[in-house]
């Protein structure tokens, strides 16, 4: 991503600065004891960033706060226009304003989608290892998880289209082992393995889903974090037919580090699906809050320059952490991220049990990470490290891991 000369050094300074987040009720920093059993771990787990959001977003929130009246709020035409322009400008996808439904969080929206379109007992395809709230969202609605586990080939993950086809097949006369799926939940780019799915991979997936009448729900919250050499394709942009069988869930909250101000977007091109979703939404889901909405609008209106600078910094953090892990952490294999802010590290060559790996990271390295088994089948023996932090923090965390692993080998 090209960053204007001069802007880079200025913004690097911003991202290099260590901000003390303790005492702010930060899940990542203030709940270390609860999650890891000790509060002296360097937290590199929750997927938020350790730097302030863009100045434009902060200014918009401060201005709105000064108004002082914070009654019920609802996004209108101006917000629609900002969302439409963002997608068109950044990804060339023409979103019709009528397709947009605002929600207060991607995870709540996903739960609502599953509840609205999948009956208890029906199947939902997930592709583990995957962001763990997907499992709870499916289980909450009483539907059944159908696992289409990702396959690793030469250090890179791929989707298993053949297995997906098999999961969908219920017409060979035999009694199916599991119910055929009603829905498939995609994560693009994929948390935790960092794949940015190619157009070709998505087309193959969409062909199967269309043929078997499986609704495609895509969580694209990490879509702003794409590294050099990779292109993000919203699955709904493949064709009109795919769009009509899809729901895209996204939010600027990852890219602009505003997860504490939930405000998200569901893009639902099919009118019938959209009306059903809206009926369900009116019962439970709320519109974004006053400040969530301000943040979303400011990000999409004024945030692109800051975002591009942040991506340039993240590109370097990604390369630094990948290179460090490859060279300096014995036996551990990093999976090179194509997108997201997450490095997926394969600790399996160390041959540790789950508890031993946790002990090594928490009590020896003193680093707080997401453990692979949280992400379902295929995640055992891995850890996930969030590299959206100042380079010095990243280096410190990696050094700690390296030292702990060396003491073991
Ligand atoms: C893939 C994915 N989806 C959704 C979320 C959370 O979204 P929200 O905070 O809008 O519920 C995350 C946060 O890490 C995520 O990684």
Architecture of domain 70-302: 3-Layer(aba) Sandwich (3.40)
Stretch 271-281: mean pLDDT, rounded? 93
In a mutational test of the pocket of ligand 1, which residue from 259, 261, 263, 288 has the highest number of ligand atoms less than 8 Å from its CB?
A: 259
Answer yes or no: CATH 3.90.1150.10 is held by domain 7-54+305-408. yes
Q: Are 317 and 44 in contact (CB under 8 A)?
A: no
Is any ligand 1 atom within 6 A of the Cβ of residue 262? yes
Name the closest-CA residue to atom 14, ligand 1.
47
Q: How far apart are CA 129 and CA 124, in angstroms?
A: 15
Each residue's pLDDT tens digit, 391-403: 999 999 999 999 9
What is the model's pLDDT at position 86? 98
To test the pocket of ligand 1, the residue of 106, 265, 388 to mutate (highest count of ligand atoms within 8 Å of its CB) is 106
Task: Give residue 285's pLDDT.
Answer: 67
* HSE-CB of 358 using CA atoms within 13 angstroms: 13
Looking at the predicted structure, is the pLDDT value of residue 318 above 90? yes
pLDDT band at 92 (very low <50, low <70, confident <90, very high): very high
Residue 194 Cα to ligand 1 middle (Å): 14
**pLDDT cut 90: percent of the chain above it:** 89
How far apart CA 270 and CA 247 sit, in angstroms, is 9
pTM for the whole structure: 0.95
Where do you find CATH 3.40.640.10 in the chain? 70-302
Report whether residue 259 contacts ligand 1, using a CB cutoff of 6 Å: yes
Confirm or reject: Cβ of 250 under 6 Å from ligand 1.
no
Question: Which ligand 1 atom sits nearest the alpha carbon of residue 264?
Answer: 10
Angle at 112 between CA 107 and CA 113, to 5 degrees: 95
Token couple for 36: 């890891």
* Binding site membership of 131 for ligand 1 (Cβ less than 6 Å): yes
Do the bridges between strand 333-335 and strand 246-250 make them parallel or antiparallel, or are there none, so unpaired? unpaired
Percent of the chain with pLDDT over 70: 95
Segment 248-262 shows an average pLDDT of 98
Q: 49 CB less than 6 Å from ligand 1?
A: no
The C-alpha atoms of residue 226 and residue 308 are separated, in whole angstroms, by 10
pLDDT of residue 2: 47
CA of 103 to the centre of ligand 1 (A): 13
If we measure between CA atoms, which residue out of 228, 188, 179 comes closest to residue 206? 188
Q: What is the DSSP letter of 363?
A: I
Ligand 1: centre distance to CA 12 (Å): 26
Q: Does residue 196 surpass a pLDDT of 60?
A: yes
Residue 58 pLDDT grade (very low, low, confident, very high; cuts 50, 70, 90): very high
Confirm or reject: Cβ of 221 under 6 Å from ligand 1: yes
For position 174, what pLDDT does the model report? 57
Per the prediction, the chain carries an average pLDDT of 94
Please provide residue 127's backbone torsions phi and psi, each rounded to the nearest 5 degrees: -115, 80
CA distances from 401 to 27, 76, 96, 332, 345 (A): 22, 48, 47, 10, 11
Ligand 1 pocket mutation, candidates 104, 107, 110, 339, criterion most atoms within 8 A of CB: 107
CA of 262 to the centre of ligand 1 (A): 10
Query: Following DSSP, what letter does each residue of 101-124 receive, concatenated?
Result: EEES-HHHHHHHHHHHH--TT-EE
Residue 12 burial (10 A CB sphere; 0-12, 13-18, 19+): middle
Beta bridge partners of 156: 153
pLDDT at res. 338: 98
Q: Which residues are registered as beta bridge partners of 316?
A: none
- Ligand 1 within 6 A of 263 CB? no
pLDDT in tens, 320-367: 999 999 999 989 999 999 999 999 999 999 999 999 999 999 999 999
Whether 246 lines ligand 1, by a CB cut-off of 6 Å, is: no
Predicted confidence (pLDDT) at residue 91 exceeds the cutoff of 70? yes
The preferred substitution site among 47, 113, 221 for testing ligand 1, maximizing ligand atoms within 8 Å of CB, is 221
- What distance in angstroms lies between residue 205's CA and the mean position of ligand 1's atoms? 22
Of the candidates 383, 269, 353, which has an alpha carbon nearest to the alpha carbon of residue 41?
383
Q: Is the CB of 191 under 6 A from ligand 1?
A: yes
CA angle 378/383/386 to nearest 5° reads 125
Question: Alpha-carbon distance 247 to 235, whole Å?
Answer: 9
Q: Does residue 11 surpass a pLDDT of 70?
A: no
Which of 263, 339, 247 shows the shortest CA–CA distance to 299?
A: 263
Q: Is 372 helix (H, G, I), strand (E, B) or coil?
A: helix
Averaged pLDDT, 220-246: 98
For residue 409, the CA-to-ligand 1 centroid distance in Å is 36
Q: How confident is the model at residue 1 (pLDDT cuts 50, 70, 90)?
A: very low
Contacts for 20 with CB less than 8 Å, ≥ 6 apart = none
Q: How far is the CA of 1 from the centre of ligand 1 (A)?
A: 24
With a 6 Å cutoff on the Cβ, whether 249 touches ligand 1 is no
Segment 187-213 shows an average pLDDT of 97
Q: Where in the chain is the domain with CATH 3.90.1150.10?
A: 7-54+305-408
First and final CA of the chain: distance in angstroms?
39
Q: What is the pLDDT of residue 34?
A: 97
Which pLDDT score, from 0 to 100, does residue 10 have? 57
Q: Is the CB of 376 under 6 A from ligand 1?
A: no
Measure 186 CA to ligand 1 centroid, in angstroms. Answer: 13
Atom index in ligand 1 nearest the CA of residue 47 equals 14
């Amino acid at each position: 991503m090209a960053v204007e000369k001069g802007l880079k050094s200025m913004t690097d300074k911003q991202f290099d600065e260590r901000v003390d987040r303790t005492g702010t009720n930060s899940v990542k920093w203030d709940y270390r004891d609860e999650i890891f059993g000790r509060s002296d771990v360097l937290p590199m787990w929750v997927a938020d960033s350790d730097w302030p959001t863009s100045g434009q977003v902060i200014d918009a929130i401060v201005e709105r706060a000064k108004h002082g009246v914070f009654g019920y709020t609802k996004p209108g035409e101006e917000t629609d226009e900002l969302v439409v322009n963002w997608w068109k400008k950044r990804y060339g996808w023409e979103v019709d304003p009528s397709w947009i439904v605002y929600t207060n969080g991607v995870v709540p929206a996903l739960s609502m989608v599953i509840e609205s379109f999948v009956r208890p007992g029906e199947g939902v395809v997930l592709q583990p290892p995957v962001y763990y709230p997907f499992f709870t969202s499916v289980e909450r609605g009483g539907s059944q998880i159908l696992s289409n586990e990702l396959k690793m080939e030469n250090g890179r993950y791929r989707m298993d289209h053949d297995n997906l086809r098999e999961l969908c097949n219920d017409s060979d006369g035999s009694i199916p082992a599991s119910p055929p799926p009603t829905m498939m939940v995609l994560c693009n780019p994929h948390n935790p393995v960092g794949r940015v799915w190619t157009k070709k991979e998505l087309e193959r997936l969409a062909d199967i889903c269309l043929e078997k009448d499986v609704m495609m729900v895509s969580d694209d919250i990490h879509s702003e974090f794409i590294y050099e050499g990779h292109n993000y394709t919203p699955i709904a942009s493949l064709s009109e037919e795919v769009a009509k069988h899809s729901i895209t869930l996204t939010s600027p909250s990852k890219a602009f580090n505003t997860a504490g101000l939930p405000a998200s977007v569901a893009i639902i091109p099919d009118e019938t699906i959209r009306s059903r979703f809206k009926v369900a939404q009116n019962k439970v889901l709320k519109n974004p809050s006053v400040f969530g909405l301000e943040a979303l609008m400011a990000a999409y209106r004024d945030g692109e320059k800051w975002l591009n600078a942040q991506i340039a910094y993240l590109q370097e953090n990604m390369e630094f952490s990948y290179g460090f892990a490859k060279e300096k952490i014995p036996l551990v294999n990093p999976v090179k991220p194509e997108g997201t802010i997450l490095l997926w590290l394969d600790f399996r060559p160390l041959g540790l049990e789950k508890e031993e790996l946790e002990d090594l990271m928490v009590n020896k390295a003193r680093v707080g990470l997401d453990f692979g088994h949280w992400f379902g089948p295929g995640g055992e023996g891995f850890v996930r490290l969030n590299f959206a932090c100042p380079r010095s923090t990243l280096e410190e965390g990696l050094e700690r891991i390296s030292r702990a692993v060396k003491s073991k080998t």
